Amino acid sequence: MTSTLLVLVLLSQVEQPAPSSAGAVPPLAASTVGGWRYLTRLEASGLALLPSSGGGEAKRYAQLTPMLVVDGGEAFGLNLGAPVRLRLGGGGSSAGLVRREDWDSLSDWGQVVHALKIGSDTSPVGLWVGALEGYSLLSGHLVRRYTNRANPDYHPAGASLTGALGPFYVEAFASDVLGARLAGAQAEVDLQHLFAGPPRQKGRYTLGLSAVHDWGQAGGVAPPVMLAHLDGTAVVVVRPGFELHVLGGWGGRPGGGGAWGAVAGVGADALSPTLDMKLRLEVRRQHGGFRQGYFGPDYELGRLSAVGTSGLPQAQAPFPDGFSTYAEAVVAWDGVRLGGLLQRHLSLSLGAEVFGWGRVDVDGRLATQFANRNLEVALSGLALGLGQPGARHLYSGQVRWRFGHKLYALAEGGTLLYPNADGALRPGAYASLGLGVDNAR
């Protein structure tokens, strides 16, 4: 099971799963050696993996999560650590001491690298390796809000590589650096830069082409699939701290014989010392099984068993032709001042798509902090196929309370879907309660 209690600390703050809070307190600091900053952490908790209401045996584990964070400034950050689950009960006499499903493939060893960052936001080349959570590939019309560890028995390390040269910008990614899985890229050209030289404002008029391929050979075998998409974006309103843009695009499945889709929409970005907000509204057309956001938050499960089917993989499942409306909001707010992922009173990420033939898909995450940033609460949920038979639901919540300079308590719980050998999904749940210690101060 992917532990949502793993934390990412990069640059000069400790980044925890629930952003934000109240009160103006300085960011947590770690040990400093020679200009580099370090943080060490150990979490110990009891974990119960519970069967569905249909029966089955509960499995109990002692979970230990060590972590080491190294912060080398804006251009380097490293977070190493993974949960080790030691069996306390359940699972039968053949079960080993360590939960086998967490380490039974080469890809699972990728979970040791929770985050590696090389290059800053202004670097011509940047690299990210680790967990992909809510990841979108630039325009997001192929890969949108994707999570590579949604399968609780598959823990890969993904990677994202960006590069800029003159009017060109490229982002490439892989969902699993140790397995033959999802990979793709999007290349964009700044048209104003290309035809009129370097502009005062970069990226005002862009044209992009993306392609993504899934080999389907890790995290469960599934049929391969490849999609491509062409995008155009124009920023039509520019004000201090605000931009409004329009967008359009067309995509399809190469060799798919009539699988295509089109999209048009509008987006707005607002940025101030206390608010970072991104909004998007789109109208989409689907035909022949193609859809925008095909590689989405549920893809790691849907590729094995699509929503609303009796076990068909997503690549083979029918998808009705029609129109849909998609809306997305990503908001970060702090009553004092935004400062990385630690200093935010409120963090909200929500996406929803309504199809003309009666289906609704929603996923989101809400995180807040209280009590002088010592209490963090986060809720996340995913509901796909609402209004249709076979709708899929996943929910989770977590609480973290720091009650000393080095100690904190944590609790979490939620629902899970485990893939069986035949691709069918088996429902379950989890609950965890424990303590953590670190050298933050």
- Amino acid identity, position 181: R
Residue with tokens 């590579």: 148
Beta bridge partners of 402: 408
Give the closest residue to 296 by CA, choosing from 247, 358, 361.
361
Q: Reduced to 3 DSSP states, what percent helix, strand and coil does the chain have, rounded to the nearest 5?
A: 5, 55, 45
Q: List the chain pLDDT tens, one digit each, 441 residues.
A: 333 333 333 333 333 333 223 233 334 456 666 678 899 999 999 999 998 765 678 899 999 999 999 988 888 999 999 999 999 988 776 678 999 999 999 999 999 999 999 998 788 999 999 999 999 999 999 999 999 999 999 999 999 999 999 999 999 999 999 999 999 999 999 999 999 999 988 899 999 999 999 999 999 999 999 999 999 999 999 999 999 999 999 999 998 778 999 999 999 999 999 999 999 999 999 999 999 999 999 999 999 999 988 789 999 999 999 999 999 999 999 989 987 666 789 999 999 999 999 999 999 999 999 988 899 999 999 999 999 999 999 999 999 999 988 899 999 999 999 998 887 899 999 999 999 999 875
Separation CA 332–CA 54 (nearest Å): 40
User: Global pTM?
Assistant: 0.89
Q: Which residues contact 189 (CB under 8 A, 6 or more apart)?
A: 167, 168, 169, 206, 207, 208
